[in-house]
Amino acid sequence: MSRRRLLLALLVVALTACGQVPVAAPIPASVPVAAPAAAFAEVRAEVTDAAAPAVASAHESTSAAVMPVVVALQEVVQEVMPPAASTAQASVISPAAVALIIRWEVGSQALYTRRYESPIWPGGASGVTWGVGYDGGHQTRQQIGVDWSALGAASRLQATAGITGLAAQPVVRDLRDVRVPFGLASDVFGVASLPRYHSGARRAFGADGFDALPADARGALVSLVYNRGASMTGPARAEMRAIRDVCLPGTDVHCIARQIRQMCRLWRGTNLEAGLCGRREDEAGLTERAR
């Protein structure tokens, strides 16, 4: 069995064991051992797509059981195909969308320095988080090492990989002396995190419809995926599916904005309402003003 077939087969087994339903897709053709980097990147994208339902489920649940398995499997994948270092590139979304994400993740540089320069645990199903919303619990050791290679404490942050929920509390206490400067956090956000979430949003909503949107609208959807993940499965994702299936075919930014606002039903009456509904309102406003 080829590497690609083996890795995807392992993924299906692992997700099934976690009670997740992997996306239905044919097992692709084999890849030669000496396959070029582009082919490896394609395999990584396929594995990411297949894992998306489990990853997104872990983002929005309090279960600490799913994410360690998913991350462990991604570790196996990256042992075969190590993550490549990201390189600087032009921003993939509009400046207004970049500002929106940074504002909702860390507020401002001054607030970041006061509150977020050391790793935190935001609660819920999150893992130890640092930088501009960088959640170590949803990353692999290899990916953390690549993304944060410029930080002296990168090897300590790698220990957070796959640890989410209440299990992250004692881990974050051991990292209180770690400092992540705002400049480095911004660099990793722009070079590593933002392109990764842009690719995830583009795959989730469909490249044709996504690419046809104005830059601000694309950025609003990237912010949405940055915050909620890219899963399209389950009743909590009804609005995500409507954006993909109803709004995007007609490039209807007002339809997208309506669906984003309707997501507030998920947090109404909870302690998350002010923050998440406020973010959805900002994303909706950016979308309907997009030209």
pLDDT greater than 90 at residue 11: no
Query: How high is the pLDDT of residue 63?
Result: 47
Tell me the C-alpha distance between 184 and 198, whole Å. Answer: 20
Tell me the C-alpha distance between 257 and 282, whole Å. Answer: 10
Query: How high is the pLDDT of residue 40?
Result: 43
First-to-last alpha carbon distance for the chain, in angstroms, is: 49
71-75, 120-124, 155-159: least confident range: 71-75
Query: How high is the pLDDT of residue 229?
Result: 87
Closest by CA to 88, choosing from 202, 190, 213, is 190
Residue with the two structure tokens 């000496």: 34
Rg (Cα) of the chain, in Å, rounded?
Answer: 18
pLDDT greater than 90 at residue 199: yes
pLDDT greater than 50 at residue 146: yes
Query: How high is the pLDDT of residue 86?
Result: 56
pLDDT tens-digit profile of 18-33?
A: 444 444 333 334 434 3
Query: How high is the pLDDT of residue 20?
Result: 43
Structure tokens of 183?
């400049």
Percent of the chain with pLDDT over 90: 63
Q: Which residue has the higher pLDDT, 89 or 101?
A: 101
79 confidence band (pLDDT: 50, 70, 90): low
pLDDT greater than 90 at residue 100: yes
Query: How high is the pLDDT of residue 123?
Result: 83
How many CA atoms lie less than 13 Å away from 50 in the CB half-sphere? 29
Q: Are 119 and 130 in contact (CB under 8 A)?
A: yes
Tell me the C-alpha distance between 270 and 224, whole Å. Answer: 19
Domain ranges for the chain, please list them.
Answer: 3-80, 95-288
pLDDT tens-digit profile of 27-62?
A: 334 434 344 444 444 444 544 444 444 444 444 444
Residues composing the chain: 291
Instruction: Report the predicted TM-score, pTM, of the whole model to 2 decimal places.
Output: 0.72
> At the topology level of CATH, where does 95-288 sit?
Lysozyme (1.10.530)
pLDDT tens-digit profile of 255-289?
A: 999 999 999 999 999 988 999 999 999 999 999 99
Tell me the C-alpha distance between 50 and 239, whole Å. Answer: 21
pLDDT greater than 50 at residue 14: no
Region 224-232: mean pLDDT is: 92
Closest by CA to 259, choosing from 249, 271, 274, 244, is 244
Tell me the C-alpha distance between 151 and 159, whole Å. Answer: 14
Q: Taking the C-alpha atoms of 163, 168, 173 and 176 in order, what is their torsion angle to the nearest 10 degrees?
A: 60
Closest by CA to 100, choosing from 289, 255, 282, 259, is 282
What's the mean per-residue pLDDT of the chain? 80
Query: How high is the pLDDT of residue 81?
Result: 52
